[in-house]
Amino acid sequence: MIVVLLGPPGAGKGTQSGTMVKKYGLCPISTGDIFRSNLNAGTALGLEARSYMSEGLLVPDELVVRLVIDRLSQPDAQNGVLLDGFPRTVFQAEELAGFLAAHGKSVTCCLLLDIPEKELMVRLTGRRVCRGCSSVWHLTFSPPPTDSVCPYCGGEIHQRDDDGEAAASNRLRVYQAQTYPVIAWYEERGLLKKIPASGSPQEVEKTINKALE
């Protein structure tokens, strides 16, 4: 099973990806996480992606596609994959389809986490993340037990650079302009399943499970 998880920034892709990976034994591939860990480790890839990410812009297609194809070729990605944050442009969607076809594979379905745009800024700017284990909280909806220390790993709870007002609103604009067409792309191919994503994580999870049955 090769599942694409699509949706605007703040729709809850990271949260749902965590539960789906466990339930279905999928190999998670999150381009955002890959870039962030490269950034933390100070690699060349991290340095290259940095300026785009902090502004809320997309990293250039060629770079992302190379990275994902490389990741998809590794042994742990041969028995089911969950793609989170990729593809984000029609070019990326086409490159992915081409690569999979060349290996006798294809995307099983694309789940769209569907949520009214007006809810997204609140979700993004209130989000807090653990530097250690990437656990996610929200100041209003699911506040961490203490302000700055992660209860799971003791790591520092902080706000992602790109969750500030300016970068967050840029990310929403970029989604509208560049990722919106990807929805139609999967819809035209009969692969799109819309998942209402305004509810609680548990409600969204149930809908996803039904869609994957």
Binders of Zn ion: how many residues, by CB under 5 A? 8
5: three-class secondary structure by DSSP:
strand
Backbone dihedral region for residue 67 (phi beyond 0: left; psi -120 to 50: alpha; all else: beta): alpha
Q: Is 56 in the site for ligand ADP (CB under 6 A)?
A: yes
Nearer to Zn ion, 158 or 189 (CB): 158
Q: Is 132 in the site for Zn ion (CB under 5 A)?
A: yes
Cα 141 to Cα 127: distance, rounded to the nearest angstrom = 9
Q: Is 173 a catalytic residue?
A: no
Is residue 179 close enough to count as binding ligand ADP by CB under 6 A?
no
Least distance to ligand ADP, CB of residue 139, Å: 16
- Which one from 36, 123, 128, 160 is the annotated catalytic residue? 160
3 secondary structure, DSSP code = E
Q: Determine if 12 is a binding residue for ligand ADP (CB under 6 A).
A: no
Burial readout 38-75 (b: 16 or more C-beta within 10 A, e: otherwise)? bbeeeeebbeebbebbeebbbbebebbbebbeebbeee
Active site residue 71: no
Task: Tell me the backbone φ, ψ of residue 80, rounded to 5 degrees.
Answer: 110, 130
Q: Is 193 a catalytic residue?
A: no
Set 88, 123, 128, 193: catalytic member: 88
Residue 213 Cβ vs ligand ADP, minimum distance, rounded to whole Å: 26
Residue 202: how many other CB atoms lie within 10 Å: 8
* Residue 86 near ligand ADP by CB under 6 A: yes
Tell me which of ligand ADP, Zn ion, none is bound by residue 144, counting a contact when its beta carbon lies within the kind-specific cut-off of 5 to 8 angstroms: none
- Structure tokens given for 25: 């034994």
204 and 113 Cβ atoms separated by less than 8 Å: yes
Which CB sits closer to ligand ADP, 43 or 210?
Answer: 43
When CB distances to ligand ADP are compared, the closest residue is: 32
> Which residues of the chain form contacts with ligand ADP (CB under 6 A)?
9, 13, 31-32, 35, 52-53, 56-59, 64, 85-86, 88, 92, 162, 171
- Catalytically annotated residues: 13, 88, 127, 160, 171
